[in-house]
Amino acid sequence: MPFWIPVTIFAAFMQNLRFLLQRHLKVTTLSTGGATWARFLYSAPLVAVIVAVYSGVSDQALPAPDGWFWAFVISGGMAQMLATMCVVALFAHRNFAVGITLKKTEVILTALLGLAILGEAISPPVIAAIALGFIGVLLLSDPPEAGGALPWKARVFNVASGYGLASGVLFGISAVGYRGASLSLPDGDVFLRASFTLAAATVVQTVTLGVWLAWREAGQIARVLASWRVSALVGLTSMFGSLAWFTAFTLQTAAYVKALGQIELVFTFLFSAFWLKEQSSPKEIWGIVLVVASIGLIFAGSL
C-alpha cells in the first residue's frame, strides 16, 4: 500500500477531531476568529520543535526556501486560514455533519486548481471517484428541514451555502499552494520538507490572524489563552493532522489526497450519529454509501 494512503486517512481522522473541538469552542466560548486562531497559536510552537528535532536527529540541514516557496506558502496559508473560519462560521447555521460536508466541494476544485497551477492531471478512475463522491456530498448536504421541505432557492442560495462554497475554493487553493511549496524546496526528505512547509505556514497564520484579532477582537486573545485546556487540544490535533496532510501532499497529487480525504465524511457521520446523537435520514445514508464507494475506487486505482 502506498504510504500516502494511510497518512491521508490519519490526517482526515485528526481533522475531524479538530473540527469537533473547534465546534465546541465556537458554540461555548470563542468567536469564529478566536476558534480559528486557537488552532494556529497552540500548534505553531509544536511544529517548530518537531522540525528542529527531526533536522538534528536525521542530520539534515534545514531547506533554503526561495521566492516561489514563500509565494506558495503565503497564498496557501491565507487561503487555509480563511477557509477554516468559513467552516467554523458554518456551525452557527447548520448542524455539524452538514457544516463539514458543505466544504467538500474542495475535492473537485483542488483537481481543477492543481491542473491549472501545477499542471497535474488526474486519471479517469479518479475522476469517476471524485464525481461519485460529489454526488454523495450533495445528498449529505441536503438533509430534511424540521419545518418541511424548503424551496430549492432557499436550500442553495443561503449563508451556509456561501460559506461552504467559499471554504471549498479556499481549501483547494491551500492544498495546491502547500504542495507547490513543498515541491519547491531543493533539499530534505519528504518529512523534513513537509514539516518545514507546515512550520512556515503556521507562523504566517498565527501572526496574521493574531494581528487581526488584536485590532478587531482584542478580547478574543485573552479568551483563547483562558480556554487553553480545549484550545491546546485543538492545536495538538491540528499539528498531527496538518503534518499528515502536508506529508501526503508532498508524496502525491493534491487531488488524489483530497479525494481519499473524503473518508473524513464517514468519520463525521459516525461522530454525528453516536456522539452528537443527530438523526440520519435515508438520503444521508445513501450519501455515505456513495462516498465509501468513491473511496473504494481510489484504493483500487492506487494499490
pLDDT, tens only, 199-222: 999 999 999 999 999 999 988 999
Contact criterion met (CB below 8 Å) for 108 and 134: yes
The cell numbers describing 199, all together, are: 512550520
Instruction: Give 250 or 16, the one with higher predicted confidence.
Output: 250
Better-predicted residue by pLDDT, 42 or 163: 42
Instruction: Determine the average pLDDT of the residues in 161-186.
Output: 87
CB hemisphere CA count around 140 (13 angstroms): 32
CB atoms within 10 A of CB 149: 10
Neighbours of 300 (CB within 10 A): 10
Report the share of the chain in percent with pLDDT over 90: 37
Q: Is 97 or 107 the better-scoring residue by pLDDT?
A: 107
Question: What pLDDT does 88 receive?
Answer: 73
pLDDT-derived band at 141 (thresholds 50, 70, 90) equals low
* H or E stretch covering 120: none
CA 224 from centre of chain: 21
pLDDT in tens, 261-273: 888 878 877 777 7
Query: Distance between terminal CA atoms of the chain?
Result: 6
Q: What are phi and psi of 64, to 5 degrees?
A: -105, 100
User: What mean pLDDT value characterizes the chain?
Assistant: 83
pLDDT at 213: 93
**CB-based contact 102:155 (threshold 8 Å):** no
**pLDDT for 146 beyond 70:** no
Q: Which single residue is written with the C-alpha cell 513543498?
A: 182
3-state secondary structure of 93: coil
**Which residue did the predictor score with more confidence, 23 or 197?**
197
**pLDDT above 70: percentage of residues in the chain:** 86
